[in-house]
Structure 1
């Protein structure tokens, strides 16, 4: 064992690491990213849940009660509804998380001590259901003249009244698995061809660059659908996770996420110099996706700036779609903003990857 040779090897590794920008970014970026995400973005105290109110009484007392609930910071009224049925439609479409129903005979019910208010909650997200439960306690200590007992405010959780974690997690696992595998497989596939020297041979053929890139990744779409089917079958068998919407909509949502992830993987493959770099860059995408999309931590608890960043991630939109279809029985027509977001992401990433791929091979 020679200390001089050992030092030379260590010096060589440090110099090589210094030249590898991806590795340097991992060394600095991962601790910073985790610190910022866990310390700043992750928040279990949900605030400003999007809420619609159906105040059929429209009295001074009913309006004061709504203001008491708003002052808690838990809810944020964004819409008015004419009936409870309209509130249920909004819940099913994912437009709101909480609906408040105040009946026309509110004042009489309040005086008689009967149930006077009903709070409808999207139980597909158990964190939202837990936060909304606080509303039944607020009017007791309110400074308002409207005083209600907890028994007079009925908080009803729909779609997952038992608050079973599996019902909330399993649909999201489809997105997590597809994000992890599709991005990594695609990012590595193109780089592997380059490392093995096969890329030059493929370019020499009459196949266009667009056909080459799209043809390389489309087989992975079939793999993604197999994974989706496996999760659905195991979820129904082991955890009794329902599929209240159309099964065709479930698969169409999965295809949209698969295409978005494949295009993202292609973009990564045009920047990575090796398979190891491709996997490193995939990790940079996967970590924010799993933390900011609403899978592990409640989306409504994040600061607005982080929510805007999360809107760029395909997994964020997929989770809204898959939970809406499987748990709330919504259609993709009801969730059209999420469909358009994934289509736009796929188009942008695919176009950028093909253009960058062309420039690198000219």
Structure 2
């Protein structure tokens, strides 16, 4: 077989010319490795510190304040909430504002001074096993260290422990990774499927030559967008029902909250995810380009939403980026309803945010589409 080097050179030159004209592809070629390196470098960490905690301190002695200060100095925990009742402590942990709660009894300091064993209760949110294990080990180390100090100070020798840390893990007592992964995976699958499908919807019309037929009809831009979205909303609902059924009956992950509420939040999330897909479809010139942009969007969602890695382990700037991703809030909703049994009162902020994302992305998709056809 004979090869003509000049013809091969011409093909190579032509291919580079086509790539050069496609600025979106060039941007993906340059940005994708940079983005993945930065995201994996900063977000892919399981070393968790500065975990938000709440304290119910019924003791007025110096010893309890000393214990809390040692917990803060360990840098594993940040005591951000001081509550006055168990009900308030439970609400803060239920809402996810705090991942751990300490309850110090009123006789804590007196027991230490009289040589008795002083108890501390630790309540841990077990929905994220990595964070929960960090809290348990970090708090255990601090209590053990302080116990040794107290034993030397008040008894003159190291004997039995003078502090007793009683731990309780809520929502996921066995700290099973299945309970942590499955709710998040439902959100990831739902976003991936709907985003990929809708990102092809408009660009497919353009490639097939049917877009002109839609343009000349009396249908408005918003009507077209809604008509494009409704089938995928139905598909999304079918997917989430299948995923929930598989979670319950195959993986044995019980749904402790309201399924109706979960479906309502899923609807809000679907509109946002579908809106992003429509935006991608309106700015893409081909289905291949739409797929590339979809993958470009899916990767940050998987890494930064808290599905794979604890958000507490991420630097603040990366954490700030995660707050503009709808999946971040939807995963919190999924784990809150499925594992904690959260109601609307604990999740109303996420509802507002997801609704705002849906309205915003659909509006932007409509605006971008109008610019394309005029």
Please confirm whether the aligned pair reaches a TM-score higher than 0.5, indicating the same fold: yes
Q: Which runs of 5+ in 2 are unaligned?
A: 152-159
Aligned position for 1:121: 124
Tell me: CA distance 1:96–1:201, structure 2 relative to 1, closer, same or farther (3 Å).
same
Per the TM alignment, residue 284 of structure 1 is displaced from its structure 2 partner at its CA by 1.1
Say if 2:39 is the partner of 1:20.
no
Cα distance between partner residues in 2 of 1:122 and 1:150: 26
- Which one of 327, 352, 357 corresponds to residue 364 of structure 2? 352
Cα distance between partner residues in 2 of 1:265 and 1:36: 24
Cα distance between partner residues in 2 of 1:138 and 1:215: 59
Cα distance between partner residues in 1 of 2:150 and 2:354: 46
Aligned position for 1:105: 107
- CA offsets, 1:14-40, max 9 Å, x none? 111122122222222121112111212
- Which one of 51, 57, 64 corresponds to residue 66 of structure 2? 64
Q: Which runs of 5+ in 1 are unaligned?
A: none
- CA offsets, 1:182-224, max 9 Å, x none? 1111111111011111111112111111101111111101111
Q: What RMSD in Å do the two structures reach over aligned CA positions? A: 1.8
- CA offsets, 1:311-347, max 9 Å, x none? 0001000011111111001012311111111111111
Cα distance between partner residues in 2 of 1:68 and 1:51: 14
Say if 2:76 is the partner of 1:91.
no
Where do 1:33-182 residues align within 5 Å?
Answer: 33-110=35-112, 114=117, 116-133=119-136, 134-142=138-146, 146=150, 149=161, 152-182=164-194
Q: Say if 1:50 and 1:98, in contact at 8 Å, map to a contact too.
A: yes
Tell me: CA distance 1:113–1:248, structure 2 relative to 1, closer, same or farther (3 Å).
farther
Cα distance between partner residues in 2 of 1:74 and 1:265: 39
TM-score under structure 1 length normalisation: 0.95
Per the TM alignment, residue 107 of structure 1 is displaced from its structure 2 partner at its CA by 2.5
TM-score under structure 2 length normalisation: 0.92
Tell me: CA distance 1:217–1:69, structure 2 relative to 1, closer, same or farther (3 Å).
same
Q: Say if 1:113 and 1:152, in contact at 8 Å, map to a contact too.
A: no
Cα distance between partner residues in 2 of 1:235 and 1:293: 20
Q: Say if 2:192 and 2:298, in contact at 8 Å, map to a contact too.
A: yes
Aligned position for 1:207: 219
3-state SS of 1:244 partner:
coil
Cα distance between partner residues in 1 of 2:116 and 2:38: 48
